[in-house]
Structure 1
Amino acid sequence: MSNDLVFYTNPQSRGRITRWMLEETGADYRTELVDYASRMKSAGYLAINPMGKVPAIVHEGKVVTEGAAICAYLAEAFPEAGLAPRPEERADYYRWLFFAAGPVEQAVTNNVAKFDPAPEQARMFGYGSFAATVDVLEAAVSAHPYIAGDRFTAADVYVGSAVGWGTLFGTLPKRDAFTAYFERLTGREAYARAAAKDDALIAENAPA
């Protein structure tokens, strides 16, 4: 495995998003498993990600954290994979990639925490309200076969993961548009490879 690209993850985390993206690039990479009990808060790992969170990657000595940033970075670092946006796709690509990383993430986590901004507070929060955010996300995934148009891009890895996890764990409502969009993504070979690798890590590290 290459030391030029190192992937720090836990298979029961958002690291699964980065694993999928790495498999889409076809790049050679080395996986470093970061457990929640000890290594994630160790001095060594905090030197890579001071937030003590996964995923993180180190590519040619440079650290990248945050799922959306990693997806965008890898798309540009490995252009031969064709995952970066074409000129006509850039607006939707960046818009919805960061919509999922910002308003959707904030709306979902606040909703899970049972925090619902009062109408007069809505302007203080980038997402306004959970209901509005869900409706906008539904419209976005319904507009085209993929989030930036008719072609799969790195933005679909991140947006698709948000939709897939959200509907699976009940943090997003199970709407037909979400189901149809995610089903288009889960048929990809890279998605299947990534899931198999992470599921194998979970099995290997399960308590005896």
Structure 2
Amino acid sequence: MSLDLYYHPYSRAAGTLWALEEVGVPYKLKVVDIMKGEQKGPELVALNPMGKLPTLVDGGVVITEGAAIALYLADRYAAGRLAPALDAPERGTYLRWAFFAPSVVEPAVMAKNSGWEVKEISAGWGNHASMLAAADSAIAGRQFVLGDEFSMADVVLGGLLRFLIGFKQIDATPTFSAYVERLEARPALQRAEARNQAMRQELGLQ
């Protein structure tokens, strides 16, 4: 059964292609013209009340939120290869850093760049400096989040760090830069990037 990804190459769904390419199962792209606001149309809102991308449909199952989609794909289609077993000791580390990306890294960056006035004790993301130090600790001295073993946690955390560095929203520290270089050597990421690029050209977005 094919997976259907509601997608636009200039949306977060572009990153979901990497997760799909890593698991290696067939999928179809359902292009949503976000420039025209189609993500707020009845078809997508019926699936995802937020009217946002990515939205993945796997048979009768609907999954939204990029990190949730990635972890779902790993558990369902690549358990033991991209996701530690439920009773594996490394499962905790895997979940910890996968959830750290959208829950701490992204809001901390947005808070700093937008000048939000928040109380550190009240904000779930703490502060920008402690976020960066924690993210560094997740990969410092190791190849990937789980050590020498690549996992879907690297797609989630590493994908976000790669995006933020690419758009100069965080500094490209030696630790982060070396990590991103290792990720960019992944054939699945290269295939995803090629498909995103092809879709941009097909849609006349370049």
TM-score, normalised with respect to structure 1: 0.92
1:90 and 1:17 map into 2 onto residues whose CA distance is 23
**Cα offset, 1:26, TM superposition:** 0.7
- What residue in structure 2 maps to residue 53 of structure 1? 52
- What residue in structure 1 maps to residue 64 of structure 2? 65
Q: Where do 1:155-174 residues align within 5 Å?
A: 155-174=153-172
List 4+ stretches of structure 1 deviating above 2 A: none
Q: 1:5 aligns with which of 3, 6, 24?
A: 3
2:186 and 2:102 map into 1 onto residues whose CA distance is 22
1:84/1:154 contact within 8 Å kept: yes
**Secondary structure of the equivalent of 1:171?**
coil
- What residue in structure 2 maps to residue 203 of structure 1? 201
Q: Where do 1:133-152 residues align within 5 Å?
A: 133-152=131-150
**Cα offset, 1:88, TM superposition:** 3.0
Q: Where do 1:102-113 residues align within 5 Å?
A: 102-113=103-114
- What residue in structure 1 maps to residue 39 of structure 2? 40
**Secondary structure of the equivalent of 1:122?**
coil
**Cα offset, 1:158, TM superposition:** 0.7
1:11 and 1:30 map into 2 onto residues whose CA distance is 14
Letter in 2 for 1:199: Q
2:201 and 2:112 map into 1 onto residues whose CA distance is 31
- What residue in structure 2 maps to residue 98 of structure 1? 99
Residues matched between the structures, number? 203
1:90 and 1:81 map into 2 onto residues whose CA distance is 11
1:106/1:127 contact within 8 Å kept: yes
**Cα offset, 1:116, TM superposition:** 4.6
The unaligned stretches of length 5 or more in structure 2 are none
Letter in 2 for 1:47: A
2:65 and 2:59 map into 1 onto residues whose CA distance is 18
1:193 and 1:79 map into 2 onto residues whose CA distance is 18
Letter in 2 for 1:106: P
**Cα offset, 1:149, TM superposition:** 2.0
1:130 and 1:66 map into 2 onto residues whose CA distance is 23
In 2 relative to 1, CA 42–55 (structure 1 residues): closer, same or farther, beyond 3 Å? same
1:25/1:81 contact within 8 Å kept: no
- What residue in structure 2 maps to residue 115 of structure 1? 116
Letter in 1 for 2:24: G
1:75/1:83 contact within 8 Å kept: yes
1:100/1:162 contact within 8 Å kept: yes
Among all aligned residue pairs of Structure 1 and Structure 2, give the percentage whose two residues are the same amino acid.
36
**Cα offset, 1:143, TM superposition:** 4.1
**Cα offset, 1:112, TM superposition:** 2.2
**Cα offset, 1:34, TM superposition:** 1.0
1:90/1:148 contact within 8 Å kept: no
The unaligned stretches of length 5 or more in structure 1 are none
The alignment status of 1:78 with 2:93, answered yes or no, reads no
1:116/1:129 contact within 8 Å kept: no
Q: 1:30 aligns with which of 28, 31, 44?
A: 28
